[in-house]
Amino acid sequence: MSLVSEQYQKMGISEAVYQYCDQILEQLKDRFETIDQTAEFNQMKVLNAMRKNQVSDIHFAATTGYGYNDMGRETLEQVYADTFHTEAALVRPQIACGTHALAVALSANLRPGDELLSPVGKPYDTLEEVIGIRPSIGSLREYGVTYRQVDLLNNRDFDWDGIREAINERTKLVTIQRSKGYETRPTLSPRQIGDLIRFIKSIKPDVICMVDNCYGEFVDTVEPSDFGADMIVGSLIKNPGGGLAPIGGYICGTKACVEQCAYRLSAPGLGQEVGASLGVLPSFFQGFFLAPTVVAGALKGSIFAANLYESLGFSVIPNSTEPRYDIIQAITFGKPEGLIAFCQGIQAAAPVDSHVTPEPWEMPGYDAPVIMAAGAFIQGSSIELSADGPLKPPYAAYFQGGLTWYHAKYGIMMSLQKLVDAGQVTL
């Protein structure tokens, strides 16, 4: 028995589970080397943006009140814009989460009488109330913005004819969700998104194309903004925060779109000029600097989980060999007991609240009970090791994160251990 395997056994992993996982990992060395190469490229991309903008310790100073003349905030936003190859960026702790960032981007660039189109099917659950698909106070629907949706075809390709037919004189903004959300469709690659944007703009050139980029940043060497997206939007407690940002979101895109977002986030006449940084800038800068390496570790964890659970007969999306365009791994268990045991294993592996047993509960913004495993240093941070899923068919778990590859590895091993212990899996 090696020193490492002995340590895992001390932490609750049986010899049988350890050996099974070790066999899977032996097959992944070349794949992991490719991930490291992508991380190295992205690390240089971020570093280059920071060097170009002459980041200095003066940019880490906190501002309060109105936050006028916040040099650090302005420099950080330029670093984001240069990294993602956009004209402008809005990166603020006043953006509470990814849903808030998306709501700001949508409400800032849509007006009464406009129509919002989703050409990739149903958006993520929490956007349903933002749009008004499910009634909610302050939704876009309440302000006279209509919504149209074109589902993907059965083969998961875009419905090109349906999209062409859906675009009309009132279509102002198209929202494209890169990741799968609580669906079992594949994640869209930046290049696929680029093909979709080109098609849409060939029909109506002035339409705004916004990409929900959550979970996708730094997984590839390119982003949707490299392929014509007018806005890319995300959360800092996911990939780009690198596990250090305690709150926040970003909107990168054209100067016109970002300016509209700034006025919506603050107030007409104020825009980007206000918004104190409140001492979070060091974590924002450092988290962004670390993000490519952190994302690489999370990506390795997702690929390990796919190969492991596919070998055990479970349906996984993406599968064990498909290319990756976000850090999320969907595993379908087909029954609630498997989903619950998996999430309880992830929680048991956490550095925070490992003693807590997660149970399904009614979460705001969702239409079914949801079980969440999230033993994180930052509440709700899904770049940290986490898993969740709605308690409804097909009872799929959505696994993501891991600030280090080794923690992601242990979490996956512990999830299998819990399934074995619950009699849901036999090795």
- DSSP, res 361: B
Contact 403, 384 (CB under 8 A): yes
At residue 39's C-alpha, the angle toward residues 376 and 302, to 5°, is 50
Verify that 226 and 372 share a domain, yes or no: no
Q: At what angle do helices 29-52 and 281-311 cross, to 10 degrees?
A: 170
Dig out the tokens for 22 from the structure: 């070790």
94 & 222 share domain: yes
Buried b (16+ CB within 10 A) or exposed e, 263-288: ebbbeeeebbebbbbeebbbbbbbbb
Query: Do 120 and 202 have their domain in common?
Result: yes
Q: What is the pLDDT of residue 184?
A: 72
Euclidean distance between CA atoms 39 and 62, whole angstroms: 30
Same domain, 233 and 300: no
Query: 316 and 248, same structural domain?
Result: no
Strands across the sheet containing 231-235: 88-92, 249-253, 231-235, 208-212, 171-177, 115-118, 146-149
**Which residue, of 278, 306, 338, is where some domain finishes?**
278
Which candidate, 372, 351, 380, places its Cα nearest to that of 246? 380
Strand order of the sheet with strand 370-373?
315-317, 329-332, 396-400, 386-390, 370-373
The pLDDT of residue 1:
64
Residue 292, strand partner residues: none
Residue 59 forms part of a structural domain: no
Q: Choose the final residue of a domain: 234, 259, 278.
A: 278
Distance CA 86, CA 183 (A): 29
**How many Å from the N-terminal Cα to the C-terminal Cα in the chain?**
20
427 within a domain of the structure (yes/no):
no
Which amino acid is it at 197?
A: I
Q: Report the C-alpha gap between 165 and 159 in whole angstroms.
A: 10
Residue 121's region, left for phi above 0, alpha for psi from -120 to 50, else beta, is left
**φ and ψ at 208, to 5 degrees?**
-85, 130
SS3 track for 272-322 = HHCCCCCCCHHHHHHHHHHHHHHHHHHHHHHHHHHHHHHHCCCEEECCCCC
DSSP secondary structure, 28-79, as one string: THHHHHHHHHHHHHHHHHHHHHHHHTT--GGGG----TT-TT-HHHHHHHHH
Q: Residues 148, 179: contact at Cβ < 8 Å?
A: no
Tell whether 307 and 160 lie within a shared domain: no
Residue 56 domain flag: no
pLDDT computed for residue 324 by the predictor = 95
Report if residue 55 sits inside a domain: no
In a domain, 267, yes or no: yes
Per the structure, how many domains does the chain have? 2
H or E element at residue 190: helix 190-203
31 and 110 assigned to the same domain:
no
367: Cβ–Cβ under 8 A, 6 or more apart, which residues? Answer: 125, 134, 390
Identify whether the C-beta of residue 281 lies closer than 8 Å to the C-beta of residue 32. no
Listed in sequence order, the residues at least 6 apart from 265 whose beta carbon sits closer than 8 Å to its beta carbon are 90, 92, 94, 95, 104, 108, 275
Domain end residue (candidates: 278, 309, 341): 278
What is the chain's alpha carbon radius of gyration, rounded to the nearest angstrom? Answer: 21
Could you list the mean pLDDT of each consecutive 10-residue stretch along the chain, which spans 427 residues?
90 96 97 98 98 98 96 98 98 97 98 98 92 95 98 95 98 96 85 98 98 97 98 98 98 98 97 96 98 98 98 96 95 95 97 94 81 93 94 93 97 98 94
Omega cis (within 30) before 318: yes
Examine the domain organization and report whether 122 and 261 are in the same domain: yes
- Is 203 found in the same domain as 167? yes
SS3 329: strand
pTM of the complete model beyond 0.85:
yes
The answer on 325 and 250 residing in a single domain is no
Domain of residue 174, residue span: 64-278
166 and 305: one domain?
A: no
